[in-house]
Amino acid sequence: MTGATATIEDQLRAILRDVLGVDAARAEAIDDATPLFGAMPELDSMAVAGLLTEIEDRLHILIDDDEVDGEMLESFGSLAAFVRAKRGA
Amino acid sequence: MTAEAAPRICTYGNGEAMLAFGPASGPHLLVLQPLFEEMNRTRSLVVAVCRGLAARGIGCWLPDLPGTGESPQALDGLGWADWRAAVPQALAATGVTIAGSIAFRGGALIDSVVPGRHWRLAPTAGRSLLSDLRRSALASGSDPATPAGYVLSPTLAEPLAAADLSADDTNRTIRLVRDEHPADRRVDGIPVWRRPEPQRDDRLAGLLADDIAAWIGT
């Protein structure tokens, strides 16, 4: 369970582990510069869709279809920035 | 360890495939699989649950819906009504009295067609399944008319978009611990329907078979 103090990055790492099966060591090594879509083998286009749905459900945001693009998923940092902006944090 | 009996291969409706697990005696359940890509990803879990139930003396009937799995029909010519109509055809082909259904994910959207009680794992609305397909196309820049390679007729997509879970007192809903939607029980396990590579979770399968056996035995 992620506590109230868990950062958005920590919560996203936990989702990547649970949803995509990224192992703990790899998840820990993920930083803002880590490329995602097109670089992470687990993240095919169906996995992207599932990841976004799980992010919506677990981080309580709504993602519009026109926000889903390569830029948002380019790196872990861009995904975290998107989620942070959505949460207004 | 004793050798498990292989499932029996049956057909129903217009040459659709159905696997039968377990003894002829004892209660029988119809198994409704997830829809679209999630069906492939969960196949191992679904079959492991069926084998687990068979070992507990419960018969399971696992049809492939028209246009899915081993179906001789193409999905693009089928509508939501065809999937709902397939359920009574499958029930008739079992030749036994079905006590209820166990449904995984989107399979729960058609479980109200099955008489009796309904057990569900992580059920989801049709709108969410369609959203996943659409976003997959958006993320990959592929043709949104054929998301993830699926060709959906309007007679399938439109009713599916409106399809939501029926609610009644005979339902039992199981979800994974990180899923905050309403549930009768939460269990720890891998969300195999999300995993891009098919995965097994034998511990989860055993736990689910125990839960179903206790539920149908009460």
pLDDT tens digits, B112-145: 999 999 999 999 999 999 999 998 888 777 777 7
Phi then psi dihedrals of residue B12, to 5 deg: -145, 165
Say what the pLDDT of residue B1 is. 41
Say what the pLDDT of residue A2 is. 46
Who has greater pLDDT, A87 or B18?
Answer: B18
The answer to the question of residue A74 being in a domain is: yes
How close does chain A come to B137, measured CA to CA in Å?
7
Confidence of residue A71 (pLDDT cuts 50, 70, 90): confident
* Chain B residues touching A37 at Cβ < 8 A: 139
Q: What is the mean pLDDT of residues A13-41?
A: 92
The answer to the question of residue A37 being in a domain is: yes
For residue B10, what is the DSSP state?
E
Q: Does A71 touch chain B (CB under 8 A)?
A: no
Within chain B, where are the H helices? 37-55, 80-94, 126-140, 154-162, 202-217
Q: Does A43 touch chain B (CB under 8 A)?
A: yes
Give the DSSP per-residue string, A21-70. Answer: ---HHHHHH--TT-B-TTTSTT--HHHHHHHHHHHHHHHT----GGG-ST
Say what the pLDDT of residue B167 is. 85
DSSP H or E run through A76: helix A76-87
Q: Which residue range forms the structural domain that includes residue A65?
A: 8-87
**Residue closest to B209 by CA, chosen among B3, B24, B17, B29:** B29
pLDDT tens column, B31-60: 999 999 999 999 999 999 999 999 999 999
Nearest residue of chain B to residue A74 (CA atoms): B139
The answer to the question of residue A3 being in a domain is: no
CB contact under 8 A, B195 and A20: yes
State the CB neighbour count (10 A cutoff) for residue B198.
Answer: 12
Of the candidates B136, B178, B195, the beta carbon closest to that of A49 is on B136
State chain A's maximal CA–CA distance in angstroms: 33
Domain count, chain A: 1
Confidence of residue A89 (pLDDT cuts 50, 70, 90): low
- Cα-Cα-Cα-Cα torsion A12, A50, A59, A70, nearest 10 degrees, comes to 70
The answer to the question of residue A20 being in a domain is: yes
pLDDT tens column, B54-107: 999 999 999 999 999 999 999 999 999 999 999 999 999 999 999 999 999 999
Nearest residue of chain B to residue A22 (CA atoms): B195
Say whether B78 sits in a helix, a strand or coil.
coil
Residue whose tokens read 């926000």: A67
Q: What is the mean pLDDT of residues B181-197?
A: 93
**Candidate from A26-30, B44-48, B145-149, B154-158 with smallest mean pLDDT:** B145-149
What the block records as the tokens of B97 is 């009295």
* CATH (domain of A28): 1.10.1200.10
B107 vs A6: CA distance, rounded Å: 35
Please, are residues B60 and B50 in contact by the beta-carbon 8 Å criterion?
yes
How close does chain A come to B74, measured CA to CA in Å?
21
DSSP H or E run through B82: helix B80-94
The answer to the question of residue A77 being in a domain is: yes
CB contact under 8 A, B136 and A21: no
State the CB neighbour count (10 A cutoff) for residue B160.
Answer: 22
The answer to the question of residue A1 being in a domain is: no
| Residue B4 in this model has a pLDDT that exceeds 80 | no
Domains of chain B: 8-125+166-210 (3.40.50.1820)
Q: Which of residues 186-205 of B touch A (CB under 8 A)?
A: 190-191, 193-197, 199
**Residue closest to B176 by CA, chosen among B123, B126, B134:** B123
CB contact under 8 A, A45 and B178: no
